[in-house]
Amino acid sequence: MANVHGVVDQDQQWLLNCLSATLDPNQEVRSFAEASLNQATLQPGFGSALAQVAVNRELSLGLRQISFSYLELISWEVCGIKEPLIYLAAVLLKQFIKKHWHEGDESFEHPVVSFDEKEKIRRLLLLSLDDSYRKMCTAISMAIASIALHDWPEDWPDLLPYLLKLINDQTNRDGEGEFVVILLLLSTASVALTTLTSRCVLFYEKILKSSWSSVNGALRCLALLSDDLDDKVMPTLVPLLFPCLLTIVSSTQVYDKYLRAKALSIIYSCISMLGAMCGVYRMETSTILIPMIKPWMAQFAIILNQPVEPKDPDDWSIRMEVLKCLNQFVQNFPSLTESEFMIIMGPLWQTFVTSLRVRSSVDSLEDLYEGRYDSDGTEKSFDSLVIQLFEFLLTIVGSKKFVKVVMNHIKELVYYTIAFLQMTEQQVHTWLMDANQFVADEDEATYSSRVSGALLLEEVANVAGMEGVNAIIEAAKERFSDSQKEKAAGSAVWWRLKEATLFALASVSEQLLEAEDSALVRVGLRDLLEQIIVEDSESGVHEHPFLYARIFTSIAKFSSLISREVLEHFIHAATKAIGMDVPPPVKVGACRALSQLLPEANKGIIQSQMMNLFSSLINLLNQASDETLDLVLETLQAVIKSGHELSASVEPLISPVILNMWVSHVSDPFISIGAIEVLEALKNAPGCIHPLVSRILPYIGPILNNPQQQPDELVAGSLDLVTMLLKARMNSAVDVVKAVYDVCFDAIIRIVLQSDDHSEMQNATECLAALISGGRQDMLAWGDSGFIMRSLLDVVSRLLDPDLESSGSLFVGSYILQLILHFPSQMLPHIRDLIAALVRRMQSVQIEGLKSSLIVIFARLAHLSVPNVEQFIDLLTTISAEGHDNSFVYLMLEWTKQQGKASCRVNNNVSDGDNVL
């Protein structure tokens, strides 16, 4: 490869001076330099001048990087270049590329870089792909790839042939073997030849370094371009490219793991693209791949058969790429892969088992799990390797063709998988420091080897049936025994394996409880679970908090199996734990257990502890963050329902706390809904509804009467809260409904008629429907009946306005149904106008669910007209419908289109006990 360099001309010298000035400690100098560079970006030749500086190897690396950062749209932080100047220059260059390279970009500004200048930049960059500095080589490769997104292949047809030629030239170096032999002979000669030998060695090292750089640059470009290769390029490219890449991957003495992994990443992209093509071009893709399957499978086996290297991210990376390639082969070409697959299984198992050894052999796993990234920004952590392993095993187990390969060793697979589920040292440290993160990771199933392993166990249970279920139970028994042996041997981390065993069982609880031979499974599983959870349950809560948290949650998962005595023991234990000075994870586990166990438990179990439990949960509410609030609210709701009769005595303590929390989190749907559900549980408890209503209405009234002055979402949330008060398990007490009417009716009507906020309109519509359902005919006696009906009909008119966006009218169907059900005589004179408005609204809606809900109204009207349905049909035929003969014809067409949808809406649009059809 030619050594790209050049003499610095006057223009380039000016550019170098400006770039250097951006380092000047004087603010005025820096500002002037930056302004000068900004102006220069508008001048022809600026980009090529930067390129010339970037590839001029006679300049210092720092200046080349600075100039290059102006030339290329990349994130230099990913490349590992941390200097503030480089970062600033990269930002400015990004603006240059975005604004001036391609006229199709949204941020394009004139002038555009000329074709001749673009060609010069592209040529300079290609000639620099053999740069010996890895970061510069990375930057050049990324520059080529980013430019190729716009220019290749139409304006840069020679790019791909050039890259292939570069790789071919470097992977067919005839004479290298002879050169090595000469070196060996020289090394055995007399001392007089020592100097000559040293020079030869240095010369050969220079050849290898140049070779590495050239191949690195070409591979980087191909890796970045491979995601954009299409079905036109692939049939020609793959037969040429794959042999070259195979040579690189197999040349362990020439190319390091980094480059070999990069070559494999290109294979992965190509196989993914071929997989997407095979649906249409199955024969063509098979013809391309058949001669390549055997050599590539053999090479994959060689890589996987070596024991996993501890603390070697490059080793993990190359295995990850192998596993990704195998995954694509198995998913997209199972028939082609099947015949050669057995060669993979032994090496795959070797990687699997030795990965666990690496994981288990290190006391502090922080280094293995701390995020590591290569110069491309690709993660190189050990956890990523384990995740990729599980993903490939998941593919195998889920494939009818390949699952039989692992079925003979299913128990061993499960046994080792459980060990992978152990918490890492870093997880323990993180979760102990931040219980909120513990809750968030558990609830959200954060991407990790723990979660991936659990998914594999689920797949085993689903696919392998009773064989898989039995394998999981037997492996769990062995792992529990292993943990007890570790404990007896004095291990400080014996509890991790026990916790992992419970985590594994809980992950497949549904499959275990629904097993075909459920009676036998239940007996064996119950005995195993009770042995695991009872053992050590009286001590060590401070030393092993995560174990006790897992015990609590596991009991909740398997409550239908656990004996009543054990269940009640742990309900009491969880109740005590919430009020004790124990580590936060234990409280988290106790809350999870109580929230799931109390609804089904004997209400008298914790009566004696109820007041203390309420007090403890209120204290937790005051300490909890956003991540844990939802869990505490869920637990409080379960306790209120369980302590039904005692709730009235604690309502004055709980309601103010929950209301304040609701106000401060009204914009958070999870927490605000959780708070309302707690208040609803209080409302349904004996003796609580009246004090609760008297506490809420004075606060809510001013909010609804002055909606424009309220924070975002407080009005919509307040309407939700009022609707909750009106909706009871049975009909709300009339005095409660009247109290709500007196405070809120006029305000709710105004919100529907005046608001442009669709959330407020929707919630107000639902609130009015609930008010009508609760008040019924009594409502008309609470004020001027004529005014009340006019207000209710004005709401109908606004919500059925065909020009109103569909979202604002979303719940009008349920509202109108309540009017028809409870005010039939008052609605009768308006039926014709109502039908006409309904038809117009139906013809303008964009939401199918809204149209279905409106059709239900016609079903109700037809039902009410019995036995005079003919009169109702005649009425429909006299009402026009745009584009149709009449409303009846239109409705029948829509009815047939919506068949099934309307019936699904029925139960959602009528009150309990009201049947439409």
What are 240-252's pLDDT values in tens digits?
889 989 999 999 9
Phi, psi of 61 (to 5 degrees): -60, -40
Residue 654 has pLDDT above 60, yes or no: yes
Residue 174 has pLDDT above 90, yes or no: no
- Residue 751: the pLDDT is 93
- Residue 90: the pLDDT is 33
- Residue 744: the pLDDT is 93
What are 430-460's pLDDT values in tens digits?
888 888 888 888 876 667 889 999 999 999 9
Asked if residues 665 and 625 have their Cβ atoms less than 8 Å apart, the reply is no
Residue 59 has pLDDT above 80, yes or no: no
Q: What is the mean pLDDT of residues 524-549?
A: 86
For the ranges 400-404, 470-474, 870-874, the maximum mean pLDDT occurs at 470-474
- Distance from C-alpha of 49 to C-alpha of 51, rounded to nearest angstrom: 5
Percent of the chain at pLDDT exceeding 70: 82
Asked if residues 144 and 159 have their Cβ atoms less than 8 Å apart, the reply is yes
How far is CA 494 from each of CA 138, 196, 487, 499, 503, rounded to the nearest angstrom?
45, 61, 5, 9, 15
Kindly report the average pLDDT of the chain as a whole number. Answer: 81
Please tell me whether the peptide bond between 334 and the residue prior to it is cis, using omega within 30 degrees of 0. Answer: no
- Distance from C-alpha of 198 to C-alpha of 671, rounded to nearest angstrom: 72
Residue 84 has pLDDT above 90, yes or no: no
**Rg of the chain taking only CA atoms, in angstroms:** 36
Is residue 132 classed exposed, middle or buried when 0-12, 13-18 and 19+ CB atoms within 10 A define those classes? middle
Residue 144 has pLDDT above 70, yes or no: yes
pTM assigned to the model: 0.78
- Distance from C-alpha of 409 to C-alpha of 916, rounded to nearest angstrom: 57
More confident residue, 712 or 189: 712
Residue 634's pLDDT band, with cuts at 50, 70 and 90, is very high
- Distance from C-alpha of 101 to C-alpha of 124, rounded to nearest angstrom: 16
**Residue 727 in 3-state DSSP?**
coil
Asked if residues 806 and 772 have their Cβ atoms less than 8 Å apart, the reply is no
Q: What is the mean pLDDT of residues 233-245?
A: 86
- Residue 732: the pLDDT is 57
More confident residue, 305 or 171: 305
Residue 60 has pLDDT above 60, yes or no: no
Kindly report the three-state secondary structure assignment for every residue of 48-103.
Answer: HHHHHHHHCCCCCHHHHHHHHHHHCCCCHHHHCCCCHHHHHHHHHHHHHHHHHCCC
Phi, psi of 102 (to 5 degrees): -130, 125
Sign of CA dihedral 159, 162, 167, 170: negative
Instruction: Look at the chain and count its residues.
Output: 917
Q: What is the mean pLDDT of residues 349-361?
A: 91
Question: Can you give the residue ranges of every domain in the chain?
Answer: 10-69+84-165, 229-399, 687-790+800-811, 829-916
- Residue 374: the pLDDT is 60
